[in-house]
Structure 1
Amino acid sequence: MGSYFKFFLTPLFLCIMGLSLIIDGWMGLSLSLVVVCSIIFGELFFGDDISTPNYRFPFLLDFSLFINVPLFLIVLYLFLDRVSSAFEWYYLLYIPILGLLMALSLINIGHELVHRTSKKFDCEVGNWALATAWNPAFAIEHVYGHHKNIGIVEEDPVTASYGENPIIFAVKAFFKEHVHAWGIESRQLNRRKQRILSLHNRILNGYLRTLMVFGLIGYFFSWQAMLIYICLGIVANYIFQLTNFIEHYGLVRIKGKPVQYHHSWNSNNRMTSYLTYNLTRHSDHHVHAQKEFWELNPCDNTGVVLPSGYLTYILLFTFFPSYAKSQMAPRLKHWHENYASVDEKALTLHYLNFSN
């Protein structure tokens, strides 16, 4: 059962956070630090997982996915209720923790569900999750844009160039995703001869959902709760954009050429893989986008595997960007010499300087 339980790690952390908010005070805050310490400890010491079990009960894995959304909403309710009732300064310490959990349980889960384009209910839950996390355009741009344009820096807003500033990238990528999504949706609506400013527009529907959630928070809680909710969205989207940054950092692809395993960075770090439902098996995800998360292969023999988890690299690129860049340089050089095509080598030579 361990192969099933590992994907209940994020729901478990959400339950711990909910309990910490019910207890409240310094004891509650101390309990929330269990989540932080567990993640850090797991990243550093739990090693890798390259197993590919044959699951007999996939409905349990689906349950582990869907349960994140209501659990996070319960935690969000508890937190906003505390903030609105009697604001304490230590509640600010919850923001980065809950922002991380919003990224994991709403944006990441939404990412997984909107890929299930043939399942209307799954897509609907995914769209609501993304809208609640302030990112309603992601479903359109990611599925119909990023997966088509991966590695083409000029056309993909979430493919990061070598040496690019991670914070500037995160801000730029977030807004460019919305612009690209509007372009994709506009072309789709024009082909159907439908108006852009109508409820046929999926992005407009997403914005309305976000505004609805924001309005409900203002109505039932307080202006402080609304500000906190905005802060949670900023943290969550920053974390997820930094994940995008790491997944394709410095890698390129020639337009028109097929997506291959060497166009994404993988990590088989046990903690990150479990928390993100194998998002870290990113090469296989891009080559086989319709695979369920439990079907993805670790690609441990492709040469594009990072030695640490995505969360470690998020911290490194945020607080020690020069060091993180120096750690990636030899890996990019290895990629350039052993995996890049002739045309990709010519393209990387145009802007990569591995001596820096």
Structure 2
Amino acid sequence: HELGHKHRRADRIAAQIANGLVGYGHFCIEHNIGHHVHVATPEDCASARMGESIYRFMLREIPGAFRRGWGHERERLAKRGAGLFSWHNDILWSWLITLGIACALIVLYGWIILPFLIVHHFYAWYGLTQANYVEHYGLMREKLPGGRYESCKPRHSW
């Protein structure tokens, strides 16, 4: 999570690898481009609403982050003149890491490892979901007369 906020290429690659370990390659893209812009607004799938259980939040946040991550990556690639399924797609690179690790573990331990990988990935996704849930639970920025939201302030995060 923190490495994904850095600007050095090595840090961003490390974040991509870390997210690749758990099959969550879209996270840094969605988090930095979507969540940071829309945090504490109804448009942010990663900000829990007042009264929303963590389970309901999870069912909204995980698929929402996936869709938004892919949408942001599509826009980034289009600006570069690259297609969605090109070598420039950071989500696909992360998924190659996920696939490579899974294949290596299956070769080493056999198919018996597959349930472990599924549970491992789920717990990692759920851990990030828990962090998002707690960080912004019930906090909303005020919508200003022009339709924009007030600037994000410390009070918009626990």
Name the TM-score, length of structure 2 as normaliser.
0.91
C-alpha distance after superposition, 1:281-314 (max 9, x if no partner):
xxxxxxxxxxxxxxxxxxxxxxxxxxxxxxxxxx
Which of residues 178, 198, 218 in structure 1 aligns to 2:86? Answer: 198
- Matched with 2:15 is 126
When the two chains are superposed, the root-mean-square deviation of aligned CA atoms in Å is 1.3
- Provide the rounded CA distance (Å) in 2 between the counterparts of 1:169 and 1:206: 25
- Matched with 1:165 is 53
How far is the alpha carbon of 1:164 from its aligned partner? Answer: 1.1
Q: Which blocks of at least 5 consecutive residues in structure 1 are unaligned?
A: 1-110, 266-356
Give 1:168-247 correspondences, 5 Å limit: 168-247=56-135
Percent identity for Structure 1 against Structure 2: 30
C-alpha distance after superposition, 1:42-83 (max 9, x if no partner):
xxxxxxxxxxxxxxxxxxxxxxxxxxxxxxxxxxxxxxxxxx
Q: Is the 8 A contact 2:23 2:94 kept in 1?
A: no
- Provide the rounded CA distance (Å) in 1 between the counterparts of 2:44 and 2:51: 17
Which of residues 131, 135, 138 in structure 1 aligns to 2:27? Answer: 138
Q: Give the 3-state SS of the residue equivalent to 2:2 in structure 1.
A: helix
Q: Give the 3-state SS of the residue equivalent to 1:199 in structure 2.
A: coil
1:259 and 2:139 are equivalent in the alignment: no
- For the pair shown, which has the larger CA radius of gyration, 1 or 2? 1
C-alpha distance after superposition, 1:196-224 (max 9, x if no partner):
11111111211222111111111111222
Give 1:103-114 correspondences, 5 Å limit: 111-114=1-4
Q: Which blocks of at least 5 consecutive residues in structure 2 are unaligned?
A: none
C-alpha distance after superposition, 1:150-172 (max 9, x if no partner):
0112x211111111121121132
**Greater RCO, 1 or 2 (C-alpha within 8 Å, sep 6+):** 2
Give 1:335-354 correspondences, 5 Å limit: none
- Provide the rounded CA distance (Å) in 2 between the counterparts of 1:195 and 1:185: 10
Q: Give the 3-state SS of the residue equivalent to 1:223 in structure 2.
A: coil
Aligned residues: 153
Please identify runs of 4+ aligned residues in structure 1 that moved more than 6 A: none
- Provide the rounded CA distance (Å) in 2 between the counterparts of 1:238 and 1:249: 16
- Matched with 1:147 is 36
